[in-house]
Structures are given as C-alpha cells and as structure tokens.
Amino acid sequence: MKLPRRLIVLSPLLLPAGLALANTAHQPLHGRPAPALPSRADTHVYLIRGLFGVFSLGLDDLMKELVAQGYHSEIYGWDEAQKVIDLINQRAEGGHTGPVVLIGHSLGANAVISVATSIQQQNIPVDLGVTFDATDPGQVPANVAVFINFWAQDGFGVPVSAVPGYAGDLQNVDLSDQPGIDHTTIDAMEPFHQEVITRLESMTSK
C-alpha cells in the first residue's frame, strides 16, 4: 500500500488512538481482569544489519532507543543469522516465554524471515517482524503475528508475501514516492522508528 507523506509522518501519533479503540472492543466480560502484558525487559528484540554492517546504522540508533526504554535488545550482522536462531532456541529452552521481535534492513531484512522460518520448527512464535527494504525475502511464515515491511522501489527493496493460509497481519508500506528515502536511508528514518516503538508499547508493560 502507498501512504501519503502526511499519513506516514503522523502514523505513530494515530496508532495509540486506534489501539485504544481496539482495547475497548476487547474488554473482558464479567469484570474479569485482562491478562497482564509481558514486560519490556522480557521482550527480546533482535536487530539484524545488512551488508558489511555499515549500511544499517539506523538500526543501531533504533536499538539504543529500545534499550533506553527497557527492552532487551541486541544487534547482529546478516551473516550471523544462525547465531540469532541458536540464541532464540536456547533461551526458549531455558524458559523464556516473552515476546520475540525481529527487525532487519536489506540483507538483514531477508535474514529476519529466515530466522522466523527456522524457529517455527521449534514452535517459537514471533510477535512482531519489521523489515526495511528487504531485497530477496522468503515468504513470511505462519508463526509471525504481525509483519511490517517498509520498502521503496529504488532498485533494491521489494514487497514481501506470506505463506499460503497465513493468518497474521502483513503490511507492505510502499515509500517509493517519498523524497529522501532510498536503500541507505530507509532504516534511519525516525518516524518509522517511532512506529516500531509504538507497536512495541502496545504489546508490553513497563
């Protein structure tokens, strides 16, 4: 889908209102309390850089923002995807049941889908997947609840698709017509960082 520039900039501000309505619509019956949200500290965010690790510095900035807000966040190169897979599997075996979040840029975006597909074999869900300009992605697997792909038609980025029968929420945000956005800047745009943070805040408690 294509978003007008004004909507892209304001979308993080609009999300809380929509989430509030959604929360109202899903209030538990008979006064029973809603299940407690997982904590930020128990939310594991894995960020994956693209080629050489020097063209995805926007992810480093995003990681710092997430750490400052209390999220357990780590960053890796795209060629360390197997290390990420092993870490997630080991932590699940060790008792981690909090949210798993995968974020990547370029080749790291492709790796996000590879990691999600691999950990699906261990029945590990991915609560949120976010990619910036995936270049040759596989299909989003069924274990990903929400997947957002920011992309621009700049010779690198492409939309992503999901496996047949996918029941999650898949969004392709086409930024091709937005000035100043290309493959090397798309991961560094603060409005998109804030949209990711807003999503995480809706899933977690302090």
CA distances from 189 to 9, 101, 124, 141, 180 (A): 10, 19, 30, 27, 10
Task: Output the domain CATH number for residue 169.
Answer: 3.40.50.1820
**What pLDDT score does 21 carry?**
39
Position 153 scores a pLDDT of 87
**Domain assignment present for 124:** yes
Residues of the chain with pLDDT under 50: 1-26
> Would residue 100 count as lying in a domain?
yes
pLDDT of residue 6: 38
* Residue 149, domain member (yes or no): yes
Q: Identify the pLDDT of residue 118.
A: 99
Could you report the per-residue pLDDT of 160-197, keeping only the tens digit for each?
Answer: 999 999 999 999 999 998 888 888 888 988 898 999 99
Please tell me the pTM assigned to this model. Answer: 0.82
Question: What amino acid is encoded at 137 in this protein?
Answer: P
Distance CA 82, CA 102 (A): 13
Domain assignment present for 117? yes
pLDDT tens per residue across span 25-40: 445 555 667 778 999 9
When divided into structural domains, the chain yields a total of 1
* DSSP secondary structure code for residue 205 in this structure: B
The C-alpha angle with vertex 170 and arms to 11 and 48, in degrees rounded to 5, equals 85
Q: Is residue 49 part of a domain?
A: yes
- Provide the residue range defining the domain that includes 104: 40-203
Does residue 88 belong to any structural domain of this protein? yes
111 occurs within a structural domain: yes
Q: Is the residue at 11 inside a domain?
A: no
27-57 burial, b if ≥16 CB within 10 A, otherwise e? eeeeeeeeeeeeebeebbbbbbbbeebebbe
